[in-house]
Structure 1
Amino acid sequence: MPRDDRKTDDRRQRGSSSAAEERRLMRSTNRLDIPRELRRTIALRSAYDADAFGRLSERIARFLGTGQFLVYMTATILFWVGWNIFAPESLRFDQYPFIFLTLALSLQASYAAPLILLAQNRQEARDRVQYERDRDVDARTRADMEFLAREMASLRMAVGEVATRDFLRSELRSLLADLDLKSREDDRV
Protein backbone atom coordinates (compact mmCIF):
# COMPACT_ATOMS: atom_id res chain seq x y z
CA MET A 1 0.00 0.00 0.00
CA PRO A 2 2.76 2.52 0.65
CA ARG A 3 3.85 2.12 -2.98
CA ASP A 4 0.33 2.94 -4.18
CA ASP A 5 0.32 6.07 -2.02
CA ARG A 6 3.63 7.16 -3.55
CA LYS A 7 2.26 6.62 -7.05
CA THR A 8 -0.81 8.75 -6.37
CA ASP A 9 1.38 11.48 -4.81
CA ASP A 10 3.58 11.47 -7.93
CA ARG A 11 0.49 11.72 -10.16
CA ARG A 12 -0.83 14.63 -8.10
CA GLN A 13 2.48 16.46 -8.30
CA ARG A 14 2.68 15.93 -12.05
CA GLY A 15 -0.94 17.03 -12.42
CA SER A 16 -0.44 20.19 -10.36
CA SER A 17 2.79 21.07 -12.18
CA SER A 18 1.12 20.55 -15.56
CA ALA A 19 -1.82 22.70 -14.46
CA ALA A 20 0.57 25.42 -13.31
CA GLU A 21 2.46 25.20 -16.59
CA GLU A 22 -0.79 25.44 -18.53
CA ARG A 23 -1.79 28.54 -16.57
CA ARG A 24 1.62 30.09 -17.24
CA LEU A 25 1.30 29.43 -20.95
CA MET A 26 -2.20 30.86 -21.07
CA ARG A 27 -0.97 34.05 -19.42
CA SER A 28 1.93 34.43 -21.78
CA THR A 29 -0.17 34.13 -24.92
CA ASN A 30 -2.24 37.04 -26.15
CA ARG A 31 -5.62 35.44 -26.20
CA LEU A 32 -8.73 37.51 -26.57
CA ASP A 33 -10.92 35.31 -24.37
CA ILE A 34 -8.70 35.74 -21.31
CA PRO A 35 -8.65 39.09 -19.51
CA ARG A 36 -5.30 40.75 -19.13
CA GLU A 37 -3.75 41.27 -15.75
CA LEU A 38 -4.18 44.72 -14.30
CA ARG A 39 -1.48 47.14 -15.32
CA ARG A 40 0.54 48.80 -12.66
CA THR A 41 0.35 52.54 -12.70
CA ILE A 42 3.26 54.82 -12.08
CA ALA A 43 1.32 57.20 -9.86
CA LEU A 44 0.06 55.85 -6.58
CA ARG A 45 -3.67 56.00 -6.19
CA SER A 46 -4.84 57.44 -2.94
CA ALA A 47 -7.16 55.19 -1.02
CA TYR A 48 -10.43 56.85 -0.12
CA ASP A 49 -11.38 56.08 3.45
CA ALA A 50 -15.07 56.90 3.82
CA ASP A 51 -14.94 56.26 7.54
CA ALA A 52 -12.17 58.81 8.08
CA PHE A 53 -14.12 61.42 6.13
CA GLY A 54 -17.24 60.55 8.11
CA ARG A 55 -15.41 60.95 11.41
CA LEU A 56 -14.03 64.31 10.27
CA SER A 57 -17.49 65.48 9.21
CA GLU A 58 -18.89 64.44 12.58
CA ARG A 59 -16.21 66.43 14.37
CA ILE A 60 -16.95 69.47 12.24
CA ALA A 61 -20.71 69.08 12.72
CA ARG A 62 -20.25 68.78 16.48
CA PHE A 63 -18.13 71.94 16.50
CA LEU A 64 -20.69 73.82 14.39
CA GLY A 65 -23.29 73.10 17.04
CA THR A 66 -21.35 74.59 19.96
CA GLY A 67 -21.49 77.98 21.61
CA GLN A 68 -17.76 78.32 20.95
CA PHE A 69 -18.39 78.27 17.20
CA LEU A 70 -21.11 80.90 17.57
CA VAL A 71 -18.75 83.13 19.56
CA TYR A 72 -15.97 82.71 16.96
CA MET A 73 -18.38 83.34 14.08
CA THR A 74 -19.84 86.43 15.78
CA ALA A 75 -16.39 87.80 16.58
CA THR A 76 -15.25 87.21 12.98
CA ILE A 77 -18.29 88.95 11.51
CA LEU A 78 -18.01 91.88 13.93
CA PHE A 79 -14.31 92.25 13.14
CA TRP A 80 -15.03 92.00 9.39
CA VAL A 81 -17.77 94.62 9.47
CA GLY A 82 -15.83 96.88 11.86
CA TRP A 83 -12.67 96.70 9.78
CA ASN A 84 -14.48 97.43 6.54
CA ILE A 85 -16.31 100.41 8.07
CA PHE A 86 -13.65 102.03 10.27
CA ALA A 87 -10.37 101.09 8.56
CA PRO A 88 -8.70 103.55 6.19
CA GLU A 89 -10.17 103.48 2.70
CA SER A 90 -7.07 101.89 1.17
CA LEU A 91 -7.09 98.94 3.65
CA ARG A 92 -10.77 98.02 3.25
CA PHE A 93 -11.29 94.83 1.27
CA ASP A 94 -15.11 94.56 1.34
CA GLN A 95 -17.16 97.72 0.93
CA TYR A 96 -20.53 98.44 2.56
CA PRO A 97 -22.92 95.88 1.08
CA PHE A 98 -20.31 93.31 2.28
CA ILE A 99 -20.65 91.10 -0.79
CA PHE A 100 -17.52 89.13 0.06
CA LEU A 101 -18.79 88.49 3.62
CA THR A 102 -22.09 87.26 2.20
CA LEU A 103 -20.20 84.98 -0.17
CA ALA A 104 -18.05 83.62 2.68
CA LEU A 105 -21.09 82.96 4.87
CA SER A 106 -22.94 81.29 1.98
CA LEU A 107 -19.92 79.11 1.27
CA GLN A 108 -19.67 78.16 4.94
CA ALA A 109 -23.38 77.29 5.02
CA SER A 110 -23.17 75.30 1.78
CA TYR A 111 -20.43 73.13 3.29
CA ALA A 112 -21.95 72.95 6.76
CA ALA A 113 -25.31 71.57 5.63
CA PRO A 114 -23.97 68.43 3.85
CA LEU A 115 -21.49 67.79 6.66
CA ILE A 116 -24.28 67.95 9.20
CA LEU A 117 -26.44 65.63 7.07
CA LEU A 118 -23.57 63.17 6.72
CA ALA A 119 -23.02 63.22 10.47
CA GLN A 120 -26.74 62.64 11.02
CA ASN A 121 -26.73 59.70 8.59
CA ARG A 122 -23.81 58.12 10.40
CA GLN A 123 -25.55 58.65 13.73
CA GLU A 124 -28.71 57.10 12.30
CA ALA A 125 -26.74 54.04 11.21
CA ARG A 126 -25.22 53.72 14.69
CA ASP A 127 -28.67 54.13 16.25
CA ARG A 128 -30.06 51.43 13.95
CA VAL A 129 -27.32 49.00 15.03
CA GLN A 130 -27.94 49.87 18.68
CA TYR A 131 -31.68 49.40 18.16
CA GLU A 132 -31.05 45.92 16.70
CA ARG A 133 -28.86 45.03 19.67
CA ASP A 134 -31.45 46.33 22.12
CA ARG A 135 -34.17 44.36 20.35
CA ASP A 136 -32.06 41.17 20.53
CA VAL A 137 -31.37 41.74 24.22
CA ASP A 138 -35.06 42.41 24.80
CA ALA A 139 -36.01 39.19 23.02
CA ARG A 140 -33.51 37.18 25.07
CA THR A 141 -34.73 38.82 28.28
CA ARG A 142 -38.35 38.09 27.38
CA ALA A 143 -37.48 34.45 26.62
CA ASP A 144 -35.63 34.17 29.94
CA MET A 145 -38.60 35.65 31.81
CA GLU A 146 -41.01 33.25 30.12
CA PHE A 147 -38.73 30.34 30.98
CA LEU A 148 -38.53 31.45 34.60
CA ALA A 149 -42.31 31.90 34.75
CA ARG A 150 -42.79 28.34 33.44
CA GLU A 151 -40.28 27.04 35.99
CA MET A 152 -42.05 28.87 38.81
CA ALA A 153 -45.40 27.45 37.71
CA SER A 154 -43.99 23.94 37.61
CA LEU A 155 -42.47 24.43 41.07
CA ARG A 156 -45.81 25.65 42.43
CA MET A 157 -47.53 22.61 40.96
CA ALA A 158 -44.87 20.33 42.45
CA VAL A 159 -45.13 22.01 45.83
CA GLY A 160 -48.91 21.71 45.69
CA GLU A 161 -48.56 17.94 45.35
CA VAL A 162 -46.05 17.64 48.19
CA ALA A 163 -47.41 16.80 51.61
CA THR A 164 -46.79 19.51 54.16
CA ARG A 165 -45.81 18.95 57.76
CA ASP A 166 -49.21 20.06 59.05
CA PHE A 167 -51.00 17.74 56.62
CA LEU A 168 -48.84 14.78 57.72
CA ARG A 169 -49.47 15.53 61.41
CA SER A 170 -53.21 15.70 60.88
CA GLU A 171 -53.16 12.40 58.96
CA LEU A 172 -51.02 10.74 61.63
CA ARG A 173 -53.37 12.00 64.37
CA SER A 174 -56.38 10.63 62.53
CA LEU A 175 -54.59 7.28 62.06
CA LEU A 176 -53.67 7.22 65.75
CA ALA A 177 -57.25 7.97 66.65
CA ASP A 178 -58.43 5.13 64.38
CA LEU A 179 -55.87 2.77 65.94
CA ASP A 180 -56.91 3.78 69.41
CA LEU A 181 -60.52 3.18 68.49
CA LYS A 182 -59.72 -0.28 67.05
CA SER A 183 -57.63 -1.21 70.06
CA ARG A 184 -60.46 -0.23 72.40
CA GLU A 185 -62.88 -2.29 70.33
CA ASP A 186 -60.50 -5.25 70.42
CA ASP A 187 -60.17 -4.90 74.20
CA ARG A 188 -63.94 -4.99 74.58
CA VAL A 189 -64.34 -8.09 72.54
Structure 2
Amino acid sequence: MAPTADREREPRPEGRPRIRLDLPRATRRKLLPDYDPEAFGQMSEKIARFLGTGRFIVWMTIIITVWIVWNVTAPTDLRFDPFPFLFLTLALSLQASYAAPLILLAQNRQDDRDRVNLEQDRKQNERSIADTEYLTREIAALRMGLGEVATRDWIRSELQDLVKEMEQQRAALPSVIPAEQVVRSDEGDRR
Protein backbone atom coordinates (compact mmCIF):
# COMPACT_ATOMS: atom_id res chain seq x y z
CA MET A 1 0.00 0.00 0.00
CA ALA A 2 1.52 3.35 -1.06
CA PRO A 3 1.55 6.15 1.55
CA THR A 4 -0.78 9.02 0.80
CA ALA A 5 -1.57 12.25 2.64
CA ASP A 6 -5.21 11.30 3.27
CA ARG A 7 -4.18 8.00 4.89
CA GLU A 8 -2.06 9.56 7.62
CA ARG A 9 -3.17 7.12 10.29
CA GLU A 10 -3.65 3.43 9.78
CA PRO A 11 -5.85 1.51 12.16
CA ARG A 12 -4.04 -0.81 14.53
CA PRO A 13 -5.41 -4.14 15.60
CA GLU A 14 -6.29 -2.73 19.03
CA GLY A 15 -8.44 -0.04 17.39
CA ARG A 16 -6.07 2.89 18.10
CA PRO A 17 -4.71 4.78 15.05
CA ARG A 18 -0.97 4.50 14.40
CA ILE A 19 0.89 7.72 13.58
CA ARG A 20 2.69 7.51 10.25
CA LEU A 21 6.21 8.89 10.48
CA ASP A 22 6.82 8.89 6.74
CA LEU A 23 4.22 11.62 6.11
CA PRO A 24 4.26 15.27 7.17
CA ARG A 25 1.93 16.27 9.93
CA ALA A 26 -1.29 18.01 8.96
CA THR A 27 -1.23 21.72 9.68
CA ARG A 28 -3.23 22.84 12.67
CA ARG A 29 -5.46 25.83 12.81
CA LYS A 30 -4.09 28.66 14.87
CA LEU A 31 -6.23 30.69 17.20
CA LEU A 32 -4.19 33.85 16.70
CA PRO A 33 -3.71 35.51 13.31
CA ASP A 34 -0.31 35.36 11.64
CA TYR A 35 1.75 38.53 11.64
CA ASP A 36 5.22 39.58 10.65
CA PRO A 37 7.19 40.19 13.88
CA GLU A 38 9.67 42.44 12.09
CA ALA A 39 6.97 44.69 10.64
CA PHE A 40 5.18 44.78 14.00
CA GLY A 41 8.45 45.68 15.74
CA GLN A 42 9.16 48.48 13.26
CA MET A 43 5.65 49.84 13.74
CA SER A 44 6.06 49.75 17.53
CA GLU A 45 9.36 51.64 17.25
CA LYS A 46 7.71 54.34 15.14
CA ILE A 47 4.88 54.70 17.68
CA ALA A 48 7.35 54.75 20.60
CA ARG A 49 9.42 57.42 18.85
CA PHE A 50 6.28 59.52 18.33
CA LEU A 51 5.16 59.05 21.94
CA GLY A 52 8.52 60.34 23.11
CA THR A 53 8.34 63.64 21.24
CA GLY A 54 7.26 67.07 22.33
CA ARG A 55 4.74 67.13 19.48
CA PHE A 56 2.82 64.24 21.07
CA ILE A 57 2.79 65.95 24.48
CA VAL A 58 1.58 69.24 22.98
CA TRP A 59 -1.22 67.53 20.99
CA MET A 60 -2.22 65.42 23.99
CA THR A 61 -2.37 68.53 26.18
CA ILE A 62 -4.47 70.41 23.61
CA ILE A 63 -6.93 67.50 23.20
CA ILE A 64 -7.34 67.02 26.96
CA THR A 65 -7.75 70.76 27.53
CA VAL A 66 -10.39 71.06 24.79
CA TRP A 67 -12.13 67.94 26.13
CA ILE A 68 -12.33 69.32 29.68
CA VAL A 69 -13.30 72.86 28.61
CA TRP A 70 -16.04 71.53 26.28
CA ASN A 71 -17.52 69.24 28.91
CA VAL A 72 -17.51 71.98 31.57
CA THR A 73 -18.66 75.02 29.55
CA ALA A 74 -20.88 73.53 26.81
CA PRO A 75 -24.65 73.32 27.25
CA THR A 76 -25.76 70.25 29.19
CA ASP A 77 -27.31 68.44 26.23
CA LEU A 78 -24.04 68.80 24.17
CA ARG A 79 -21.74 67.45 26.91
CA PHE A 80 -20.66 63.91 26.08
CA ASP A 81 -18.53 63.32 29.23
CA PRO A 82 -19.85 65.05 32.38
CA PHE A 83 -17.69 66.18 35.31
CA PRO A 84 -16.01 63.04 36.62
CA PHE A 85 -14.78 62.65 33.01
CA LEU A 86 -15.11 58.87 33.02
CA PHE A 87 -14.81 58.59 29.24
CA LEU A 88 -11.61 60.71 29.27
CA THR A 89 -10.17 58.51 32.01
CA LEU A 90 -11.06 55.40 30.02
CA ALA A 91 -9.49 56.83 26.83
CA LEU A 92 -6.28 57.79 28.66
CA SER A 93 -6.08 54.37 30.34
CA LEU A 94 -6.57 52.64 27.00
CA GLN A 95 -3.88 54.80 25.41
CA ALA A 96 -1.49 54.03 28.30
CA SER A 97 -2.26 50.31 28.19
CA TYR A 98 -1.20 50.19 24.53
CA ALA A 99 1.66 52.65 24.79
CA ALA A 100 3.53 50.86 27.58
CA PRO A 101 3.91 47.48 25.82
CA LEU A 102 4.79 49.17 22.52
CA ILE A 103 7.48 51.22 24.24
CA LEU A 104 8.82 48.09 25.97
CA LEU A 105 8.90 46.21 22.66
CA ALA A 106 10.80 49.07 21.04
CA GLN A 107 13.25 49.13 23.97
CA ASN A 108 13.79 45.37 23.70
CA ARG A 109 14.52 45.68 19.99
CA GLN A 110 16.96 48.52 20.71
CA ASP A 111 18.61 46.42 23.42
CA ASP A 112 19.02 43.57 20.94
CA ARG A 113 20.60 45.92 18.40
CA ASP A 114 22.87 47.38 21.08
CA ARG A 115 23.90 43.89 22.17
CA VAL A 116 24.80 42.92 18.60
CA ASN A 117 26.72 46.18 18.09
CA LEU A 118 28.54 45.70 21.39
CA GLU A 119 29.54 42.16 20.40
CA GLN A 120 30.79 43.40 17.01
CA ASP A 121 32.74 46.20 18.70
CA ARG A 122 34.25 43.73 21.16
CA LYS A 123 35.37 41.42 18.34
CA GLN A 124 36.79 44.39 16.41
CA ASN A 125 38.68 45.53 19.52
CA GLU A 126 40.08 42.02 20.00
CA ARG A 127 41.28 41.98 16.38
CA SER A 128 42.81 45.44 16.80
CA ILE A 129 44.62 44.40 19.97
CA ALA A 130 45.91 41.23 18.29
CA ASP A 131 47.12 43.26 15.28
CA THR A 132 48.79 45.81 17.56
CA GLU A 133 50.55 43.09 19.54
CA TYR A 134 51.73 41.43 16.32
CA LEU A 135 53.07 44.72 14.96
CA THR A 136 54.78 45.45 18.30
CA ARG A 137 56.55 42.08 18.17
CA GLU A 138 57.57 42.67 14.57
CA ILE A 139 58.97 46.13 15.36
CA ALA A 140 60.88 44.72 18.34
CA ALA A 141 62.34 41.98 16.12
CA LEU A 142 63.36 44.57 13.51
CA ARG A 143 65.04 46.70 16.18
CA MET A 144 66.93 43.71 17.46
CA GLY A 145 67.93 42.82 13.91
CA LEU A 146 69.00 46.39 13.19
CA GLY A 147 71.14 46.39 16.33
CA GLU A 148 73.35 43.78 14.64
CA VAL A 149 73.51 45.58 11.27
CA ALA A 150 76.38 47.94 10.56
CA THR A 151 75.09 51.45 10.01
CA ARG A 152 76.75 54.16 7.97
CA ASP A 153 77.74 56.13 11.10
CA TRP A 154 79.24 53.06 12.74
CA ILE A 155 81.28 52.24 9.61
CA ARG A 156 82.52 55.85 9.44
CA SER A 157 83.60 55.81 13.07
CA GLU A 158 85.38 52.48 12.58
CA LEU A 159 87.16 53.79 9.47
CA GLN A 160 88.16 56.95 11.35
CA ASP A 161 89.54 54.81 14.16
CA LEU A 162 91.52 52.73 11.64
CA VAL A 163 92.89 55.86 9.99
CA LYS A 164 93.98 57.17 13.41
CA GLU A 165 95.65 53.85 14.23
CA MET A 166 97.47 53.85 10.91
CA GLU A 167 98.65 57.40 11.47
CA GLN A 168 99.88 56.44 14.92
CA GLN A 169 101.68 53.40 13.52
CA ARG A 170 103.23 55.50 10.77
CA ALA A 171 104.41 58.03 13.34
CA ALA A 172 105.93 55.18 15.39
CA LEU A 173 107.93 53.78 12.42
CA PRO A 174 111.64 54.56 12.34
CA SER A 175 112.46 57.63 10.37
CA VAL A 176 115.01 55.68 8.31
CA ILE A 177 112.41 54.47 5.84
CA PRO A 178 110.86 57.32 3.98
CA ALA A 179 107.08 57.35 3.75
CA GLU A 180 107.21 57.04 -0.06
CA GLN A 181 108.99 53.67 0.18
CA VAL A 182 106.36 52.36 2.60
CA VAL A 183 103.72 53.21 0.06
CA ARG A 184 105.71 51.53 -2.73
CA SER A 185 106.15 48.37 -0.66
CA ASP A 186 102.38 48.28 -0.14
CA GLU A 187 101.87 48.48 -3.87
CA GLY A 188 104.20 45.52 -4.42
CA ASP A 189 102.19 43.43 -2.00
CA ARG A 190 99.03 44.09 -3.95
CA ARG A 191 100.42 42.55 -7.14
TM-score by length of 2: 0.75
State the 1:69 CA deviation.
0.3
Q: Which residue of structure 2 aligns with residue 84 of structure 1?
A: 71
1:102 maps to: 89
1:137 aligns with 2:124: yes
Deviation at 1:26? 2.3
CA-CA distance at 1:173 after TM superposition: 2.7
Over 3 Å counting, the alpha-carbon distance change for 1:50 and 1:168 in structure 2 is same
CA offsets, 1:18-57, max 9 Å, x none? xxxxxx812275533415555589xxx9532111111111
In the alignment of these two chains, the number of paired residues is: 165
Match of 2:150 among 138, 163, 166: 163
Letter of the 2:37 partner, please give it.
A
Matched, 1:27 2:13: no
Could you tell me which of 70, 93, 100 is aligned with 2:80?
93
Counterpart of 1:25, as a letter, is: A
Residues 90 and 160 of structure 1: CA distance in aligned 2, closer, same or farther (over 3 Å): same
User: Which sections of structure 1, spanning at least 5 residues, go unmatched?
Assistant: 1-23
Q: Unaligned 5+ residue runs, structure 2? A: 11-17, 178-191
User: In 1, distance between residues paired with 2:73 and 2:58?
Assistant: 22
Aligned match of 1:47 in 26, 29, 34? 34
How high is the TM-score relative to the length of structure 1?
0.75
Q: Which runs of 4+ in 1 moved over 3 A?
A: 35-41, 176-180, 182-189
Helix, strand or coil for the counterpart of 1:26?
Answer: coil
Distance 1:46 1:114, change over 3 A: closer
Q: Does 1:61 align with 2:58?
A: no
Provide Cα deviations, 1:95-147, integer angstroms capped at 9, x if missing partner. 00111111111111111111111110000000000000100110111111111
Q: Distance in 2 between matches of 1:37 and 1:147?
A: 55
Q: Identity rate of aligned residues, in percent?
A: 52
Greater Rg over alpha carbons, structure: 2
Structure number having the greater helix percentage: 1
Structure number with greater CO (CA < 8 Å, separation at least 6) is: 1
